[in-house]
Amino acid sequence: MIPYGRQDISEDDIRAVEAVLRSDFLTQGPAIPAFEAAIAARSGAGHAVAVNSATSALHIACMALELGPGDLLWTVPNTFVASANVGLYCGAEVDFVDIDPATYLMCPMALEAKLAQAKRAGLLPKVIIPVHFAGQAADMVRIGSLARAHGIRVIEDASHAIGASYQGVPVGACPHSDITVFSFHPVKIITTAEGGCATTNDLELARRMMLARSHGVTRDIAQMQAAEGQGGWYYEQISLGYNYRMTDIQAALGLSQMARLDAFLSRRHELARRYDSLLADLPLVRPVQCPQGYSALHLYPVQVDDRTRVFAALRGAGIGVNVHYIPVHTHPFWRARGFDWGDFPVAEGFYNRAISLPLHTRLTEDEQDQVVAALRAALQA
Ligand SMILES: *Cc1c(COP(=O)(O)O)cnc(C)c1O
């Protein structure tokens, strides 16, 4: 089976992990700040906080923004369930904003209309999470200015988008948001096996996220109440936190992968351009690339008629296609919370015709030709 996505591990990556295994610290050691510094440098953000998954990063981001009971979080239906679940972790309510039919990203017009309605009803969200689906940045200028106008905080779910840029600025620099979150799951752009990171330019938000990832415990005298007269053992718990720490083993892998990020991105772009031309004469819709951005190209989603049959034909031919995403609000859990099919028709229409073709750095041109041949046969059957 040709997988839709997979990790790319080099001998250098393996040596980096091995070096940590032979060192004094498997966790809470020097590899974490080194990895965080690499992410901050690459994204141009002031601070980076590495954790054990993007889900954890989204959770501590919401905590830092003080999302809680009585608050509302909005995200898009066209995402992985974690983007919505984190609102419930904080005791907030969750709602969705439909996507743009051309880009599959949060639709600023739908957001504007929903905000106007929510304002009249006195039910504005506290936090909005646009998702950089497939590696392409959402329309952050419009989303950010709508959010600012209503006093709403913004977290960019850039799980697909490390290395992407928007209007010439790296995703993660947060010019239009409070916090950006990356994922390092093996199918994403770089990997730490499991792992994630939050970036921000706000020192106070970074400080809160660092507390939240490690039990709410601090060893920073400036943050303590009773530092005077205590010994070297002393620490204080000053808030409620979790154990969301990344290990040094993962951070070393991540740091080694960061050195390969540009090579990964250009290979993904090469393969995507190749799909663009190989698929040009087929009856399907190829993903559009927004001119104001450079996508990390996590996914190559096409839209086809008769998706379920085409999907089965491709899987039958050994092509590991996938579908991103079943709209979050249509899952049984969310329907039990009052949502239903029909609530977000653009995301549902996209889903009904979506197939993600294999796209990863180890995909060969031969394999890509097999994918295209199988797709051509399925569409002509
Ligand atoms: C992968 C993903 C997540 C969750 O990432 P983990 O690191 O697996 O927790 C969240 N949002 C989106 C859009 C994702 O693709």
C-alpha of residue 379 to centroid of ligand 1, in Å: 31
Q: How far apart are the first and last CA of the chain?
A: 21
Each residue's pLDDT tens digit, 172-203: 999 999 999 999 999 999 999 999 999 999 99
- Residue 52 near ligand 1, beta carbon < 6 Å: no
Residues paired with 236 in a beta bridge: 218
CA proximity to 299, closest of 317, 323, 279, 283:
323
Residue with tokens 């927004």: 290
The ligand 1 atom nearest the CA atom of 53? 7
Pairing of strands 300-303, 319-320: unpaired
CB atoms within 10 A of CB 243: 10
Mean pLDDT, all residues of the chain: 97
- Residue 83 near ligand 1, beta carbon < 6 Å: yes
- Confidence (pLDDT) at 318: 97
- Residue 183 near ligand 1, beta carbon < 6 Å: yes
Each residue's pLDDT tens digit, 17-26: 999 999 999 9
C-alpha of residue 187 to centroid of ligand 1, in Å: 10
- Confidence (pLDDT) at 125: 98
C-alpha of residue 345 to centroid of ligand 1, in Å: 23
C-alpha of residue 93 to centroid of ligand 1, in Å: 20
- Quote the CA–CA distance of 98 and 111 in Å, as a whole number: 8
The ligand 1 atom nearest the CA atom of 183? 7
Annotated catalytic residue within 114, 119, 126, 188:
188
Please list, residue by residue across 353-374, b when 16 or more beta carbons sit within 10 angstroms of its beta carbon and e when fewer do. Answer: bbbbbbbbbebeeebbebbbeb
- Quote the CA–CA distance of 183 and 195 in Å, as a whole number: 6
- Residue 159 near ligand 1, beta carbon < 6 Å: yes
At residue 199's C-alpha, the angle toward residues 37 and 92, to 5°, is 150
- Confidence (pLDDT) at 232: 86
- Residue 160 near ligand 1, beta carbon < 6 Å: yes
> Has 126 been annotated as catalytic?
no
- Residue 131 near ligand 1, beta carbon < 6 Å: yes
C-alpha of residue 337 to centroid of ligand 1, in Å: 22
- Confidence (pLDDT) at 226: 83
C-alpha of residue 323 to centroid of ligand 1, in Å: 15
| Residue ranges, the chain, pLDDT below 70 | 227
Task: Determine the 3-state secondary structure of 309 from DSSP.
Answer: helix
Task: Determine the 3-state secondary structure of 114 from DSSP.
Answer: helix
- Confidence (pLDDT) at 228: 75
- Residue 124 near ligand 1, beta carbon < 6 Å: no
Mutate to test the pocket of ligand 1, among 80, 83, 323 (most ligand atoms within 8 A of CB): 80
- Residue 80 near ligand 1, beta carbon < 6 Å: yes
Closest protein CA for atom 6 of ligand 1: 54
- Residue 59 near ligand 1, beta carbon < 6 Å: no
C-alpha of residue 378 to centroid of ligand 1, in Å: 30
